[in-house]
Structure formats: C-alpha cells, structure tokens
Chains A and B, each alone.
Chain A
C-alpha cells in the first residue's frame, strides 16, 4: 500500500492531514488475517478537474479504501492516478453534466471504454462532476452518489473493459459541505468518501450486492463489530459514514473461497480475478 496524495489546495486543514497521513501509513504495517497470499489490483483512478479539486487533501482516502479490502480478503489496491482533467461526457444529453445512468447507461459504458486503460489497469474508478438529476439547491437534498456496472451478483465482471465505477464527487461535496446543516468537517467528508469509494469498488471488485432485502438475507449474513455497519448497507447512518475511516464488510471470519453468504466470502471467492 502506498501513501499517495491528491494534488491541490482546496481543503486547507493541514493539522488534520498530518494525523490522516499517519493513520494511513500505519495501515501499511497491517498483517493479513490469514495465510493467503496477497493479490494486488492495479486500479486506475481518473477525474474531471472539479471533482479532483474536491478530493484534494484527502491523503487517507486511497489507503483507507485499500485497507478495507486488505484486512478483509488480502486484496491490495494499487491506485494509479492517470488523469485529473477528463473531459465532459460528449454523448450526454445533459452535456456537460452526467445524464441519468438508467436512461443513458450506454453513455457511461462508452465513456469508460474510451478513458479506461483496461489493458494496464483491470479496475477503474472515475471521480466525476455534476449528475444532472442531482439537485444543486437546498434544502439539503438527497442525492445519487455513484453508480457501478457489476456483473452477476457476487461475481466480478470478467471483462475488464466493462468494469466501471462513477462517483459524483462535486455533488457530494456540495451537499455535505454547503447545502446541508451541519456541514461535514473535512475529516467527516473524507470518511464519507472512504465509505462511498469502498462501497462502489466492492460492487466492482466482487459483484457485492447491496445489503438490503433479499440480498441482505442471502449474501450479508455475517457480522460486523458492535456499533458498526456493513459498508454495503443501503442507507448507511451518518454515525458510520462520518465517524469511521475504516469501512467494514460483514464476515463470519471463517469463510473460504466459494462462500457467498457474506461480503468477505464473496471477496475471497473473487480475489484471484484480474483481467
């Protein structure tokens, strides 16, 4: 795991950053919970400029996301920031904004096909700007924060060119820092982003389902530490999103590859998937 930083200066909270860096680097020394050989994912991250600027100063984001997968299933995430100035989606009917991902899913797929170097990086997260359907005025709207194109439930998409996660960073920033009260502190906002990226990457990396309804009773039967929530839960509490920098997946602790009734089981089942 590496301690990379996102460049820029939008979030001036040096003191907190020092602590965050220390925490992130501390995770480097973690020992995997079993004797599995650690596998490494080459993860491309690319961003539109405004989204990138909103992430500036989140020195712990990548390490914290990576830590969740390493602790749970010995999957190490090696992030590669390839582009911080991606263009707007030229095929979007809401250009330069992102269109409804339900109605125009092909816009997302085509964008990923164009800007994801799938041959080099089998996995990808796009940090992008405004999603047209998300409100940009108050009062404190609920918003869509991301979308991921997974394969079948609990199965990683076998074709790297069809993998993608999009996170609408500028909308999240606007809601959490401006439109809603109380506004998130920088640390709370970073913690929330850690959860959201972990959640989306969980969909992509192992086809993890959302923890709700039938899927919850079938595929999320493990436990989490007291007071915590599975990062794949639908409607996560703000106590979880803001209060913790170490997302947790539900687990029994005794899963092996082939088990599908917990997040950890599914991560273990898919950990060897690459290209």
Chain B
C-alpha cells in the first residue's frame, strides 16, 4: 500500500472483521498500528495485539497471554521473526505503582543469508503466539512444588509488549510496534480456589517423587493421575481455568526424574501426542474454551504433532481466538510445505 491510513481507521476496520476481539474490548486484546516504509519503498501496515482475556485473576490462576501480529494493509509485509521468544520482542511489566521493567524470557536467535528481506506476512494474515504468563513473568520459585516457574502475588499489574519489526532487515527503516498496555489484577484466592491450587501442586510434586511403588518411582504415575484428574474436572467444572494448562504444560513440565529410567528401559516413554485419551480431552477443552486466550493456548499445543487437526479446528471455531490460532497454524504449515517442496538453489 502506498498511502498512509490513519490508525483509527485501520483499527475500526479490523474490529469489524474480528468479532472475538470486538467482543472483548475490556480485556482480551489491546492493539496499536504502525506503518513504515521498508527498503522496497512499499509502506507496511501492521497491528500488534496483546491481551490476557480478562482483568482479574486469583492468585495461582494461569494467565493466558495472547499476542497477534496482523497485516491490515493490502501488500505483503516483511518483518523479523515474530514470536514471544524472538530477540526482536520486548516484554516489560510494572507492578503496583512501579515502572515497567523488562521481563526475563528465553531468547531465540536466528541466522539469515542475504538477500533475505524478512518473513512475509500476506495481507490479512496474522501471526499468533500464546504463553502462560507465569512461565516467564513474576517472582521465581521452585517449579517442582508449584505449577509455574514464577509467581504473581496479589497486586495490580501492567504489561507491555513491543516488536522491533525491522530488526535485522537490511536497509529497512526502523519500525517499532507497541501494543497498548495491558492492565490486570491478581487477587487473593477464595478458599475453594486455594484448595484447588494446593491439590494441583501436590500432584505436581508427584512428578519428582522417587519413592518406589511396585518397583517403579511414584513419578511414573504422574501422567495417568493428571489425565484422570482432568477427565473428572471436565465433567464437573468444564470452565476450570487450569484445564488448558494441564493438558499442555502439565503434560510436559515434569518428568526428568523419569528420563534415566526411560533410558534404562525401566519405564516406557509416555507420549501425550499419541494418546487418544489426551487428544480427546484436548479437543473437548478447546471447544469449551474456544472464546478465550486459554483455548488458543491449547490449540497451540496441538501444533507439534497434529497439524491435521488444525484445518478442522480453524473451520469449526472460526471467529474465536482458538479458531484464529488454528487458522494461523494452517497457513504456517502450508508455507512450510511450500518451502520444503522447493529445490535447493
């Protein structure tokens, strides 16, 4: 696109086209728009959305953070790699009245050969990423006895995210996209909420329990215990906010105590991605949480081994965060397949 479009116009247009973001104006996504002229001279119009789905969480509740980079222009945009671990993405958070400070996060690094001009984002396309905030943000504590690696104590928080879209793009004018700050509160849990957190933490500890029962460490029963818990909870409280987390990080987040037993052939490696039970539970939870960033988060969990399910989910959940995540994964897989079918130069 060769002409500049005022951000407010762009935002209005996109709101009309994305009902899930329009419905949740209070919290789900906040956004900003930026344009810039890369080396080709073609203007780029990109929107950076970010949100956590609601404004209040109880202490210990997983906070599903969703970011979306969207091309609202009519020409393909070219950017550096966009994801929450990208070296070009900066997160910062303020607590209480404090100033935002940068957040610890693992950092990816890339190499690209000239004449690489960036990652293409076609008109209307988006790049989505989710993470549970407490995996990278808050006070560190022992993840063997807690559900997350970090802890957010009751307080008011403000989260900011920015993307240096043209980092590493030769000759491109600098372009920094900033999502609007995300404000949320963590409150003291009720007795019932606190009991649930403690119950889940007790289950978590099991993943590191070397006590032998019938010749095997107790940790070997962690996965089946978790799956049983989720199965029951899905029936009793299908909106439980822990369900997406448990079927994602919960299945991968523990288990190194078993690694040596697996290497020694004493314990069979459990693969959640080939488990029919896990797959059924994941699809049921995605369907239930499809309108939230939690649903999008669990869709992301399927991407490693179940790209086939993305097409179905993108269609069935269209117009929801979960559906948008599935659609993005479909497009990503198609792009990957195209790249693989091209011969080396």
Contacts from A to B (Cβ < 8 Å): 87, 90-91, 93-95, 99-111, 113-114, 132, 135, 137-153, 159, 162, 172, 175-176, 178-181, 192, 196, 199-200, 203, 207, 209-210, 212-216, 234-236, 238, 241
Contact status A241-B111, CB under 8 Å:
yes
A145: which of B110, B140, B272, B344 is its contact (CB, 8 Å)? B110
Closest to A178 in B: B344
Name the one of A90, A144, A192 contacting B259, with C-beta atoms under 8 angstroms: A90
B248, closest chain A residue (CB): A103
A223 → chain B closest CB, angstroms: 19
**Contact present for A212 and B111 (CB under 8 Å):** no
- Give the 9 A-B residue pairs with the shortest CB-CB distance, closest first: A235-B168, A138-B344, A213-B164, A210-B87, A110-B256, A212-B167, A93-B304, A142-B112, A139-B345
Given the contacts A101-B85, A213-B90, A234 and B167 also touching, CB distance less than 8 Å: yes
Q: A114-B260, A135-B336 given as contacts; is B85 within 8 A of A147 (CB)? A: yes
- Are A102 and B344 in contact (CB-based, < 8 A)? no
Is B271 touching A93 in the complex (CB atoms < 8 A)? yes
- Chain B positions near chain A (C-beta within 8 angstroms): 80-81, 83-85, 87-88, 90, 101-104, 106-114, 116, 119, 129, 131, 135, 140, 149, 162-164, 167-170, 174, 176, 249, 252-256, 259-260, 262-263, 269, 271-273, 300-301, 303-305, 336, 339-340, 342-345
Query: Bound state CA distance, A258 and B271, in angstroms?
Result: 47
B216 to chain A, nearest CB (A): 16
Q: How far is the CA of A94 from the CA of B163 in the complex (A)?
A: 29
Q: Are A114 and B164 in contact (CB under 8 A)?
A: no
B176 touches A214 (CB 8 A): yes
A104 with B304: in contact, given A114-B256, A145-B110, A212-B168 (CB under 8 Å)?
A: yes
In whole angstroms, what is the CA distance A215 to B203 when docked? 39
* Least CB distance, A49 to chain B, in whole angstroms: 15
Q: List 10 A-B contacts (CB under 8 A).
A: A90-B269, A93-B305, A103-B301, A114-B259, A142-B81, A172-B111, A181-B345, A209-B102, A213-B174, A238-B114
Q: Verify B256–A144 contact, CB threshold 8 A.
A: no
Instruction: Determine the distance from Cα of A251 to Cα of B185 in the docked complex, in whole angstroms.
Output: 40
Q: Which residues of B contact A110 (CB under 8 A)?
A: 253-256, 259
A138-B345, A214-B176 in contact; A104/B252 too (CB < 8 A)?
yes
Q: Which residues of B contact A172 (CB under 8 A)?
A: 111
Closest to A110 in B: B256
Contact of A145 with B259 in the complex, beta carbons under 8 Å: no
Complex Cα gap A39–B297 (Å):
43
Extra 19 A-B pairs, beta carbons < 8 Å, given A91-B259, A139-B343, A181-B345: A90-B259, A95-B271, A106-B253, A110-B259, A132-B304, A139-B345, A142-B116, A143-B110, A147-B106, A147-B108, A148-B109, A150-B106, A152-B102, A175-B111, A179-B344, A199-B109, A203-B107, A212-B167, A213-B174
A103 lies within 8 A of B135 (CB)? no
**Residue pair B106, A148 in contact (C-beta under 8 Å):** yes
Residues of chain A lying within 8 A (CB to CB) of residue B339: 135, 137, 141
- Given that A90-B259, A147-B108 are known contacts, is A213 also in contact with B88, CB under 8 Å in the complex? yes
User: Which residue on A lies nearest to B101, using beta carbons?
Assistant: A152
Task: Give B106's nearest chain A residue, CB to CB.
Answer: A149
Most buried by B among A176, A234, A236: A234
- Nearest CB on B from A153, distance (A): 4
A99 — which chain B residues lie within 8 A by C-beta?
Answer: 304
Contact between A212 and B164, CB atoms less than 8 A apart = yes
* Cα-based distance from A124 to B104 in the complex (angstroms): 18
Which residues from chain A contact B131 at a C-beta distance below 8 Å? 102
A145:B107 contact, CB within 8 angstroms:
no
Q: How far is the CB of B12 from chain A (nearest CB, A)?
A: 28
B304 touches A105 (CB 8 A): no
Whether A140 contacts B345 by the Cβ 8 Å rule is yes
Smallest CB–CB gap between A125 and chain B, Å?
A: 13
Contact of B111 among A145, A162, A216 (CB under 8 A): A145
Give the interface centre of A108, A144, A196 by most chain B CB atoms within 10 Å: A144
- List chain A residues, Cβ under 8 A from B249: 106
Q: Closest chain B residue to A89 by CB distance?
A: B259
Q: In the complex the two chains form, what is the Cα distance from A220 to B260 in whole Å? A: 43
CB distance from A35 to the nearest CB of B (A): 32
B304 engages A94 (CB within 8 Å) = yes
- Contacts of A104 on B, CB cut-off 8 Å? 252, 304
Contacts of B119 in A (CB 8 A): 142
A110 to B114, CA, bound (A): 36
Cβ of B81: which chain A residues have Cβ within 8 Å of it?
142, 144
A139: which B residues are within 8 A, CB to CB? Answer: 342-345
> Which residues does chain B contribute within 8 Å of A146, judged by CB atoms?
108-109
**Smallest CB gap from B272: residue in A:** A93
Q: List the A residue with the shortest CB-CB distance to B258.
A: A90
Give the chain A neighbours of B300 by CB distance below 8 A.
103
A203-B108 Cα distance, complex, nearest whole Å: 10
The listed residue with most B CB atoms (<10 A of its CB), out of A110, A176, A235, is A235
CB of B116, distance to nearest CB on chain A (Å)? 6
A87 to B83, CA, bound (A): 28
Please determine whether A214 and B90 come into contact, CB atoms closer than 8 angstroms: yes
Interchain CB contact under 8 A, A214 and B162: yes
Q: In the bound complex, do residue A212 and residue B88 qualify as a contact, i.e. CB atoms below 8 Å apart?
A: yes
